[in-house]
Chains A and B, each alone.
Chain A
Amino acid sequence: MIHFKRKLTKFFTLYFFSCFLFLSIRVGAQPYPDFAELRVIGSSATFFFKTMDQFKNGVTLNDWTTIRIRFKCKDNPNWHLLIWTEFDSIQSIDGTTSIPLSNFSVKITSEPTDTINTTIDYHEELSPSSIKTSLIWGSANVDSLITTVSFKISYTISPNGLGSLPSGTFFFPLRLTLEDAP
C-alpha cells in the first residue's frame, strides 16, 4: 500500500512538472495560444406581430446583436463565422405549423471593424439553413497579434405567408460557429 502511494505521488509530481515545463515552453514560443472567441451581446431576439403594418411589411430588429470575434491560429490565418440551424423551419411551439426559414434573414448593419486591419469580407444578408454558411470571413495576421473584429447584425422577418398562419409563438435556434477556415 505504501509502495503504491509512493508511485502515485511520483506519477503526479512528474506529470505536473511536465505540464509546467511545456507550459513554459509554449508561453515562451508563442505569446498567445491558438484560440477562437465569439462574444455575443444581445443573445436572443423576439419578433412581435401585432399591427397590420407589421403583417404587411414585416418586422426588423435593427442592430440587435453585437458580435465580437477574437481569433488567433498560427497554422491557419483564415477564419470564418458560420451561421446555421438544425431546424428546417421556424416551428410553432406545438409543432403543428411553421414559418419557412427563408422568411428570416440576418444582415450585417455596421461595417466590421478590425483592430489590426486584416482582410475581412462578408455577406450583407443571409438566411440560415441547415448548411453552415459563412456570414463573415477574413484572414488574420500571421504574427502573434490577435485579430479582433466587431460588428452589429439586424434580424428581419418578412411577412410572406404569415397571413395564413394562426396566432402563436414560433421558434428556432440560430447557431453561430467561429472557426478556422479551410
Chain B
Amino acid sequence: MRKLIFVVILAFLSQVGFAQAVQDNAVIPISVTLNSILRLNVTSGGNIQFVFNTMAQYNGGIGVSESTTTAFTVSSSRAYHVNIGAEDPNLLGVEYGGDLGLDVIEWVGTATAGNVGAITTAGANPLLNRTANDEFCNSAGATGDNPDSYTIGWSAGQTVSVANNAPDVYVTNVYLSLIPD
C-alpha cells in the first residue's frame, strides 16, 4: 500500500514536471537617435559697406537698400533663436586707429519665408556688441521642408550721426549666432 501511494505521488510529480505555461515572450529593443540639425546660411550681403561722401549722407545717413541688405536662411530641427551682435564694442578705424560707436549702425529684420513674424523687435534696432546677446528672431518650432528665410536691412548714420568723426574706414564683424532653444 505504501509503495502504491509512493508511485501515485511520483506520478503526480512527473505531471508537474511536464506542465507548461501556454505563453511565450519576446523583447524588441527600440531606439531613436536624434541628430540635431542647425544650419545658418548667409545667401547674400555678406559684406556691407557704407560710403559717406555727400553732405546729404552725413546729415541724413544712408538708408536700407538692396546693396545694404543681408539675406540668410535657417534650417533647424529644433526651436531656435538667432542672435545678432558686433565682434567689437565699437567700429574700429583701420587707418588712424580711432573708433566709432556701434549705434551709428542700425538694422531692420524681416522674415521673408517660413517663420514669418518671428522677428524679435520690429523696426530699427541699434547694432550692439555680441556680448549683449541681442536677439534677432526666434522660432517656437523646427523649420519646415524649406528653410526659414530672413533679411537684415542695414542703415547707418540715420538716428546717430556720423558727422564730427575723423575720416577713416571703420570696420567690425557682425555675428549671426543660431542657437537651439
Contacts and interface: CB of A to CB of B under 8 A. Distances in A.
Given A18-B7, A52-B143, A53-B145, A172 B18 contact: no
A166 B32 contact: no
Given A163-B141, A178-B24, A23 B77 contact: no
B33 interface: yes
B24 A163 contact: no
Given A45-B28, A157-B32, A167-B36, A55 B77 contact: yes
B28 A36 contact: no
Given A14-B7, A55-B142, A175 B27 contact: yes
Interface residues of B, number: 39
Contacts of A165: 34, 78
Interface string A24-48: 0010000001111110100111111
Contacts of A155: 30
B79 A164 contact: yes
Contact of B14 (A15, A56, A76, A169): A15
Interface string B16-36: 011011111111111111111
B12 to A, nearest CB: 9
A163 B142 contact: yes
B10 interface: yes
Interface string B140-174: 01111100000000000000000000000000000
A177 B25 contact: yes
Contacts of B30: 44-47, 90, 104, 155, 171-174
Contacts of B180: 166
Contacts of A51: 37
Contact of A18 (B10, B141, B145): B10
Closest 7 CB pairs of A and B: A163-B142, A38-B24, A179-B23, A55-B77, A170-B32, A167-B36, A19-B14
Interface of B: 6-7, 10-11, 13-15, 17-18, 20-37, 75-79, 141-145, 180-181
16 contacts: A11-B10, A15-B13, A21-B11, A34-B20, A45-B29, A46-B31, A47-B32, A52-B142, A157-B32, A162-B34, A167-B35, A171-B32, A176-B27, A178-B25, A179-B21, A179-B22
